Amino acid sequence: MRDVALATVRQLLLFATLLVPLEILAPARAQRFFRRGWTTDLTWFALSPLLVGFGATILLALLGSTIGALLPERMRALLQAQPWAVQLAEILLVSEIGGYWVHRWSHRARWLWRFHAVHHSVEELDWLAAHRQHPLEAVWLLGVANLPVLVLGFSVEALWGFVLFQKLYTAFLHSNVRLGFGRFGWLLASPRFHHWHHDGDAPINGGRTHNFASFFPWLDVLWGTYRVPDGEFPARYGCDEPVGQTWLAQLAHPFRIAPATNCRIHRAPGSR
């Protein structure tokens, strides 16, 4: 418990040191530093490692011991004997393809969207907003996205190295930074690319069908889901699902009775 807490504090300081200066120097939108909902997202940042780490460790261990046995031991040994950098590159590609489809299904299947709506309920994006994610969805995404990786039998060290890199890059994509990589924006994901995925003026879940990739937008180009309008960032963020703004309300949200009609995010008077 103490080690997890120390690791979380170190990660908070690292992310803030790398990303806050970028948000100050080149903001995508004018918004307050302590923007609406930041305390809720800080709570997610602090508590999610405990919840997600426990669940993901169990799930990945079970998947690794069962599905990984499908490959001959010799093949697994050859894969694990590759240089660490090569393993990481292969993990990145395989996991990105799996993650793309899981993310896309999370917008199409209503029961998956109930969990994913928690993440889309944020109305002002910055690097801290990336951590607003229901722990059950986080475990699900880690398990399914990395299922092909476990089947291929890559080493655990390379896998967790990728997870750490993925968390940092995900925070970067959500950061309030005016960056889009210009003509090469379809090759590597940028904040501008991902901000359009959070476009609050797009329809709810099934209609919001753009920019599902985490690293490689060319996957969205390949499967017809790429959308990055020229010029500005979205005018509004958020979703049509009535999601509460406290940590406990968001944790319970997927288990509430779904509303009969779509409506905007509910916010109590005076909440931040």
Instruction: Give tens-digit pLDDT for 48-61.
Output: 887 776 666 676 66
C-alpha dist (Å) from residue 41 to 60, 119, 234: 26, 10, 21
> Any idea which of 122-126, 131-135, 186-190, 253-257 has the lowest mean pLDDT?
253-257
Residue in the structure block whose two tokens are 């903001």:
27
Give the residue-averaged pLDDT of 125-134. 95
How does the average pLDDT of the chain come out, rounded? 82
- Residue 95 CA: distances (Å) to CA of 88, 128, 172, 216: 10, 23, 18, 11
Which residues have C-beta within 8 Å of that of residue 257, sequence separation ≥ 6?
none
pLDDT computed for residue 247 by the predictor? 94
Question: What confidence tens digit (pLDDT) does each residue in 224-263 have?
Answer: 999 998 778 888 898 878 899 899 999 999 998 665 433 3
The vertex-220 CA angle with 224 and 104, nearest 5°, equals 90
Q: In this predicted structure, what is the pLDDT of residue 206? A: 44
| Residue burial 213-232, b: 16+ Cβ < 10 Å; e: rest | bbbbbebbeeeebbbbeeee
Judged by average pLDDT, the poorest of 66-70, 71-75, 178-182, 204-208 is 204-208
Residue 264 has pLDDT above 70, yes or no: no
Confidence band (pLDDT; 50, 70, 90) for 5?
confident
Give the mean model confidence (pLDDT) for residues 111-121.
92
Q: So where are the chain's domains? A: 2-255
More confident residue, 80 or 95: 95
| Pairwise CA distance, residues 163 & 144, whole Å | 13
3-state SS assignment for residue 58: helix
Nearest-CA neighbor of 144 among 194, 186, 104, 192? 104
pTM beyond 0.75: the answer is yes
Average pLDDT over residues 113-136: 93
- Predicted confidence at residue 176, as pLDDT, reads 95
**Residue 64, pLDDT score:** 65
Whether 173 contacts 214, CB under 8 Å: yes
Confidence of residue 204 (pLDDT cuts 50, 70, 90): low
Q: Which pLDDT score is estimated for 44?
A: 94
